[in-house]
Structure 1
Amino acid sequence: MITAYIGIGSNVEREKHIRAACHELSLITENLRLSPVYACESFGFSGNDFYNMVVRLDTALALNELSAALKEIEVKWGRDIDAAKFQNRTIDLDILLYGNEISQKKPFIPREDIFKYSFVTQPLYDIDPNLVIPGDGRTVEQILETIPAPVPLRRIEFQF
């Protein structure tokens, strides 16, 4: 089993789609651990506020199999297969980390968003602040402290 961390985001029917994403992940993986859910303004475009969170899970799927399974979930729940980076999302699922793997091809691991966006790093911190990022050597806590312009986040009381 490999421990992976998946970023989940939605800004379309957010509660419904965050719950759906977690349920779908529970069907294909094991030992889900959920971060708190955070709300933040859409980033890079004008749209509804996003809900974001991170899930830690164990999987027997290879990296490419996990990536394909996540794409299937996104499409099943209404995401356009050719969706652009900065647009509204029903479900956005991103592999942030996959064990100690480093991948320089899609999916890029560790995902660069960990180093750029507080809406990714804060929920990752909530799950495991002392996790060392492969290839970087810093902990999630150290990275969170260095994000230059953190996106303002509001923690949401969320019932799963």
Structure 2
Amino acid sequence: MRTFLSIGSNDNPQQNIALAIELVKKSFVDVVVSSVYQSPSITQRGADYYNLVVSFSTNLAAESVVSQLKAIERALGRSQDKLHSSKVPIDLDLLLYGDFNGLLFKGLANQSRVPHPDLLSHSFILGPLVEICAELKELSTGESYNSLWRKFDKTAHPLIKLQ
């Protein structure tokens, strides 16, 4: 099952993102990594974020994938009691899980619904996603993510490509 996730950090982002990618590569196969982009925090609290999108193949159930992502977050210092902190060491969000569309399981709202509710509304998700799967079709409209990105208002969340 081809799966996509977003990775973000605004607390020691170079190191935390490198470690997160390393742990994703140890946990999953056929990993593809987008470039890293810098963008302002959408909450206007804290330092700028570094963001990217990663895809991989897995035979795991969605709940197991999310559990693995949460374990990576915990390993890198993310705790549930600091979810709304201005410093985020790492944030891993499941974006797409194959061609599934809907609620995967009962759990954290954003983590259990795919496509992720923010996928089409944030440049720091859609931009890196297009880089690694431009012609993939958005499930509800059938339009390519590349086409959606071309129409996207990039001024709301400006991106700086870092690597």
Q: Same fold (TM over 0.5)?
A: yes
State the 1:108 CA deviation: 0.9
Q: Which residue of 1 aligns with 2:129?
A: 124
Tell me, in whole angstroms, the C-alpha distance in 1 between the residues paired with 2:4 and 2:123: 15
Structure 1: gaps (5+ residues): none
- Separation in 1, partners of 2:84, 2:3: 22
* Runs of 4 or more consecutive aligned structure 1 residues displaced over 4 Å after TM superposition: none
CA change 1:95–1:28 in 2 (3 A) is same
Instruction: Report what 1:60 is aligned to.
Output: 59
Q: Which moved more, 1:96-105 or 1:139-148?
A: 139-148
1:139 aligned onto 2:138:
no
In 1, Cα distance between equivalents of 2:39 and 2:79: 22
Please show how residues 72-151 of structure 1 align to structure 2 within 5 Å.
72-85=71-84, 87-104=86-103, 106=109, 107-148=112-153, 149-151=155-157
Asked if the contact 1:29–1:60 (Cα under 8 Å) also holds between the matched residues in 2, the reply is no
TM-score of the two chains, using structure 2 as the length reference: 0.89
Q: What RMSD in Å do the two structures reach over aligned CA positions?
A: 1.5
TM-score (normalizing by structure 1): 0.90
Percent identity, aligned pairs only?
A: 29
Q: Deviations over 1:7-53 (max 9, x none)?
A: 00000011101101101101110011110100011111321111000
Match of 1:30?
29
